[in-house]
Structure 1
Amino acid sequence: MRLRTEARRETILEVAAGVFMELGYGKASMAEIAVRAGCSKPTLYGYFPSKEELFMSVVHQRLGSEAEPIFLELPTLGDEEPGPVLTRLGECFINAITLPEAPAFKRLIMTTMTDRADAERCWELGNKQAVQIIEAYLQAATQAGRLKVKNPRVAAQQMLSLFEAEINWGGPIGFAPNLTPEMIHQASTHAVEVFLAAYGVARQIED
């Protein structure tokens, strides 16, 4: 039964991705997605209680699964050396935001999600959770004497911005850069070096 349930969920996500890309977030409806997925609306809502949660699940399926393992593990790593931990986080994060589908989803969010309530809900389900997880890690690492972070929420936001710096400013806007694993590693390493220069208690990574 579980296999069939998981298969249905994956089918719904695949169908929903197509509907969101075709119609945009605002015009896409749960009714249309249910019809195309071959299920009833109650069944669809049984898997995803709202359109916002369905949309963020689609984004996570396409982009977020690469970074999920390190994000789940991160709050427990406060006593470890920050350099390797943050570098691995950066590699996973950069890999996720440079997947071929990432620019299309970003354009979809920017151009079609014009209702503030919808945008705030999706922010709560996505970026806000990422910031909170990194914030919890930075608090733990500071308590363990590994970092010196006075405002962990701001520092978490800065960390994510540093990871994106070479991506957003290193090529044409709206297109996924073609990065090798070594280039991703270097971009993450550079970001962590800057972060630790501000918040590290000692040099944590090598050039």
Structure 2
Amino acid sequence: MRVRTEAKREAILESAAQVFMEMGYERASMAEIADRTVCSKPTLYSYFPSKAELFFGAINHKLGRQVETVYAELQSHAPEEPWPVLTRLGEHHIATMVSPEVSAITRLVTTTMTNRDDAERFWELSYKRLVEIIETYLIAATEAGRLNVRNARVAAQHLLALYEAEVNWSGPVGFSPNLSLGMIQKATERAVKVFLAAYGRECEVVRR
């Protein structure tokens, strides 16, 4: 029973994400999502008591996969040379950002989040967790003598900003540029080079 219940929840979240991305939050209806999932509205409401809860669940369903991929990539690589680790991470992160699905989610979130509480909840579901995972890696890599990081939270934010710089400043929000694999690799290389210039083990941090 538990397997079927989890499978149904996954199906609801997948259908909901598609409906929200296609129709937007306001036009999307619980009836349409129930139809796509091939379930009744009472069944749908037994999993998610409101459209708002289902919306956040669907966003978390999509973005959570990306975050867990980052976790799997970083958790055991702190003792290794950081260049290849950060390069793999950056290429994955940039490719994910410019994918049609994540671009659609970005547009959806940008047009839906109209108050601070909603925006903070979205932050909790996505970027906060991502920053925490990278922060943990940076601390471990510093302890292993691979990096020279004093403030891991800030360094994690710097790394993400460097990865995203050539995407965020190349077009309007939610409409990512078409980047070839070669362009993603070059953008990642530039980002990692700048990051390691600041946080590599040979870098001396001057205290004031």
Name the aligned partner's letter for residue 147 of structure 1: L
User: In structure 1, how many angstroms separate the alpha carbons of the residues matched to 2:30 and 2:133?
Assistant: 30
Q: Cα deviations across residues 103-137 of structure 1 (Å, max 9, x unaligned)?
A: 32212111211132222112111110000000000
The alignment status of 1:83 with 2:75, answered yes or no, reads: no
Name the aligned partner's letter for residue 98 of structure 1: V
Aligned-pair RMSD on alpha carbons? Answer: 2.9
Residue in 1 aligned with 2:44? Answer: 41
Which 4+ residue blocks in structure 1 deviate beyond 6 angstroms?
Answer: none
User: In structure 1, how many angstroms separate the alpha carbons of the residues matched to 2:56 and 2:46?
Assistant: 15
The alignment status of 1:115 with 2:115, answered yes or no, reads: yes
Whether the 8 Å contact between 2:78 and 2:144 is mirrored in structure 1 is yes
Q: How many residues align?
A: 198
User: In structure 1, how many angstroms separate the alpha carbons of the residues matched to 2:104 and 2:70?
Assistant: 24
The alignment status of 1:128 with 2:128, answered yes or no, reads: yes
Q: Cα deviations across residues 125-171 of structure 1 (Å, max 9, x unaligned)?
A: 11100000000001111111111111110110110010011112234
Change (3 A) 1:170 1:196: same
Change (3 A) 1:131 1:36: same
Q: TM-score under structure 2 normalisation?
A: 0.80
Residue in 1 aligned with 2:206? Answer: none
Whether the 8 Å contact between 2:17 and 2:59 is mirrored in structure 1 is no
Whether the 8 Å contact between 1:79 and 1:141 is mirrored in structure 2 is yes
User: In structure 1, how many angstroms separate the alpha carbons of the residues matched to 2:132 and 2:30?
Assistant: 29
Name the aligned partner's letter for residue 134 of structure 2: I
Change (3 A) 1:201 1:54: same
Name the aligned partner's letter for residue 16 of structure 1: A
Q: TM-score under structure 1 normalisation?
A: 0.80
Change (3 A) 1:184 1:5: farther
Whether the 8 Å contact between 1:29 and 1:51 is mirrored in structure 2 is no
Identity, in percent, stands at 54
